[in-house]
Amino acid sequence: MKITKTDQEWQELLAPDAYRVTRQHGTEPPFSGQYASFKEDGVYQCVCCGTPLFDSATKFDSETGWPSFYSPVSVSALEEKRDATHGMIRVEVLCAACDAHLGHLFTDGPPPTGLRYCINSVCLIFTPRNQES
Look at residue 46 and tell me if it is in a domain. Answer: yes
User: Range of 87's domain?
Assistant: 7-131
Mean pLDDT of 123-131: 91
Per-residue HEC secondary structure of the chain comes to CCCCCCHHHHHHHCCHHHHHHHHHCCCCCCCCCCCCCCCCCEEEEECCCCCEEEEHHHEECCCCCCCEECCCCCCCCEEEEEECHHHCCEEEEEECCCCCEEEEEECCCCCCCCCEEEECHHHEEEEEHHHCC
CATH of the domain at 127: 2.170.150.20
* 54 assigned to some structural domain: yes
Nearest partner of 83 among 75, 95, 91, judged by Cα: 91
Please indicate, yes or no, if residue 2 is contained in any of the structural domains: no
Q: Which residues are catalytic?
A: 118
pLDDT digits (tens, 9 = 90+) for 4-46: 999 999 999 999 999 999 999 999 999 999 999 999 999 999 9
The residue-averaged pLDDT of 68-94 equals 91
For the whole prediction, is pTM greater than 0.85? yes
Q: What is the rounded average pLDDT of the residues 77-81?
A: 95
- The β-bridge relationship of strands 42-46 and 52-55 is antiparallel
- Does residue 100 belong to any structural domain of this protein? yes
Instruction: Count the domains in the chain.
Output: 1
In a domain, 17, yes or no: yes
For residue 64, pLDDT over 60 is answered with yes
pLDDT at 1: 80
